Amino acid sequence: MVDEQKPEEPKPSPQPDTEPEEEKTSSDLIRKANEAAARLEAANIEHSKLISRQEKLAVENMLGGQAAVQTVPKEETPQEYKDKVMRGDFNDQTA
């Protein structure tokens, strides 16, 4: 008995994407929109951090006692001078 060889049946090839071209483009658009939304959310978070930092700096500048005009040092009265000498505070601030 001779084995008859049967012709091999063709194997089904993997089917290419059956998704229509229109659905591919719409899913691509949705994916790109989601990525853009994620980038915007990250940028908004960073922006809010920067705004709060600017606000803190503005408050520090307002409360920091930085005057635009140079203040004139207060003159000592004779009583204040005597008290300073009696305490032994000889740091002469005049040049």
Residue from 57, 34, 35, 54 nearest 46 by CA: 54
Task: Indicate whether 7 pLDDT > 70.
Answer: no
Give how many domains the chain has, as a whole number.
1
Q: Which helix (H) or strand (E) holds 83?
A: helix 78-87
pLDDT beyond 90 at 11: no
Cα 58 to Cα 54: distance, rounded to the nearest angstrom: 6
Distance between CA 95 and CA 82 in Å, rounded?
20
Tell me how far CA of residue 83 lies from CA of 10, 26, 75, 89, 92, in angstroms.
112, 86, 14, 9, 14
Answer whether residue 4 is part of any domain. Answer: no
Quote the pLDDT of residue 69: 62
Q: Establish if 50 belongs to a structural domain.
A: yes
Quick one: pLDDT at residue 95?
Answer: 40
Residue 72, in any domain of the structure: no
Please report whether residue 53 resides in a domain: yes
Domain that holds residue 25: 21-64
Instruction: Write the pLDDT tens digit of every residue in 54-78.
Output: 999 888 888 876 556 667 778 889 9
Residue 58 lies in a domain: yes
Write the pLDDT tens digit of every residue in 19-57.
566 667 888 999 999 999 999 999 999 999 999 999 998
pLDDT (average), residues 7-14? 58
Matching residue, tokens 């483009």: 25
* Domain assignment present for 9: no
Region 9-20 average pLDDT: 57
The pTM for the full model equals 0.41
Q: Is residue 57 part of a domain?
A: yes
Residue 55 lies inside a defined structural domain of this protein: yes
Nearest of 20, 94, 93 to residue 28 by alpha carbon: 20
